[in-house]
Structure 1
Amino acid sequence: MADNWPPSRFWQYWALAGMVVLTAAFWWGVEGYALFEGPYPRGQIADGLLRFSLLVLTPALVLVWIVAAWLRARVGERGFWKLLSLVALIWAGAVMVTRILIL
């Protein structure tokens, strides 16, 4: 049996990032769905951004976090963190703009 304890720094940071990523994705899934189903007035841009962030960006954020081992082997540790950061920033921007336009 290989001695893999304690886990490498990559996996420690990955677990910490997962707490943030999964909490944020769950929060936006619930909040975004409530905004989608609620009686909030919204225009075409807000509606399209809401749908895009719920149907494309949120799953992409979770997917990038889940496939960490595969991505780490292909793009390296720094590449993985850059990719996760890029997706997270795009997701956070879309969520922020959507909330501003709707509320």
Structure 2
Amino acid sequence: MAGPNWPPSRFWQYWALAGMLVLTAAFWWGVEGYARFESGVGDAIADGLLRFSLLILTPALLIVWAAAAWFRRRIGEGGYWQFLGLVALIWAGAVAVTRILIG
């Protein structure tokens, strides 16, 4: 027998779908970025961007995704999706530029 909150609202359904993308991307970049870091990056800018994306942006992306209920209460559903999209866009940009610089 399903509880009173079943099925979950659209927000939580979309949140779960977004989580599949966020968690997969964060894991992928954690593994690939760490491998690139261990192999050595010659350029100081690329090294700094790699470290920043691994140590700051990837955890920020995961925290924003995981803290959905808290953000939803404070900035609303639309604000949450905009905020998650902004953080994801910054993360993706940093990853793309890092990959271009490292080659």
Aligned counterparts of 2:92 and 2:66: Cα–Cα separation in 1? 18
Q: Corresponding residue for 1:53?
A: 53
Q: Which amino acid aligns with 2:71?
A: L
**What TM-score, normalized to structure 2?**
0.95
**8 Å Cα contact 1:42-1:101 kept in structure 2:** no
- Aligned residue in 2 for 1:10: 11
Q: Distance in 1 between matches of 2:42 and 2:54?
A: 16
Aligned to 1:71: 71
Number of residue-to-residue matches in the alignment: 102
Aligned partners of 1:30, 1:62: CA distance in 2, in Å?
A: 15
TM-score scaled by structure 1? Answer: 0.95
**How far off its partner does 1:42 sit?**
2.6
Q: Which runs of 5+ in 2 are unaligned?
A: none
Identity of aligned residues (%): 75
1:90 aligned partner: 90
Q: Give the 4+ runs in structure 1 shifted more than 2 A.
A: none
Does the residue aligned with 1:59 lie in a helix, a strand or coil? helix
- Structure 1 unaligned residues grouped into runs of 5+: none
- Cα distance in 2 for residues equivalent to 1:87 and 1:25: 12
